[in-house]
Amino acid sequence: MNAMLVCADCAVRDKALCGALSDGELAALNRIGRRRHLRRGETLIWAGEDNAVCANLLSGVMKLTAGTADGREQIVGLVYPADFVGRPWPGEAGVTVTALSDVELCTFPRAAFEAVLEDHVRMERLLLQRTFAALDEARNRMLALGRLSAGEKVAAFLLAMADRGSGCRATGFGPVTFDLPLTRGEMAEILGLTIETVSRQLGRLKAAGTIALPGARGVTIRDRAALEAAAGN
């Protein structure tokens, strides 16, 4: 089947690795790929086990967790639609990759994906560029965690969810509404705050009219300019 037809309904193709591929490269990748759905809480890759799969995240949000010396898990990153998941070449996974919401992925067996990269040097270079970009983003996030105030961290996180997370709902030119895939505890963990601090900062943004909090996890951005100012932008 023509790869262009198979990928025609992909919502993130223009942003994912596939968006920069030629028809021939896309066809080679499409031959080994398949769609996969995971429900919230299901794990795609376990740290310490064979890294058997690579994937593009099509919808939903996933978390990357690593184990600490005392046996706890620490969230070390989030995966958004169009992001690449997994790593070719290393045999053992360094982090656990778990669905924070219901997700859809385009998955590739690692060995077959490596073979495609060996045959298509430009694709390998594009993947390397995306890897460096992800590394730069992780470094910037670490810098932000050290320098931003609690309020700036929470505001910046909400903006990232609105811009990069899937499931945002908007009515005409009205406010953007989305469901947070993380609990307040998970938000606190990734932002380096306490649950109480996260709740307090969300309450301040709500009281200022910047956001609304419909339902248990719903967030409506009522004043984006004010939220950007709160994030220090």
| pLDDT above 70 (res 14) | no
Instruction: Say if residues 168 and 159 touch (Cβ distance below 8 Å).
Output: no
**CATH 2.60.120.10 intervals, the chain:** 3-141
**CATH 1.10.10.10 intervals, the chain:** 148-230
| Average pLDDT of the residues of the chain | 85
The whole-model pTM stands at: 0.80
Segment holding 143, helix H or strand E: helix 121-147
Nearest CA to 204 out of 140, 153, 139 is that of: 153
CATH code, residues 148-230: 1.10.10.10
What's the CA gap between 54 and 210, in Å, rounded?
A: 39
Give, in words, the CATH class of 3-141. Answer: mainly beta
- For 91, residues 6+ apart whose C-beta sits below 8 A from its C-beta are 50, 51
Instruction: Quote the pLDDT of residue 119.
Output: 85
Tens-digit pLDDT profile for residues 135-179: 787 777 777 667 889 999 999 999 988 888 755 554 445 578 888
What's the CA gap between 74 and 64, in Å, rounded?
A: 8
Tens-digit pLDDT profile for residues 46-104: 998 988 999 999 989 999 999 877 878 888 889 998 888 988 887 788 899 999 999 99
Instruction: Say if residues 62 and 99 touch (Cβ distance below 8 Å).
Output: yes
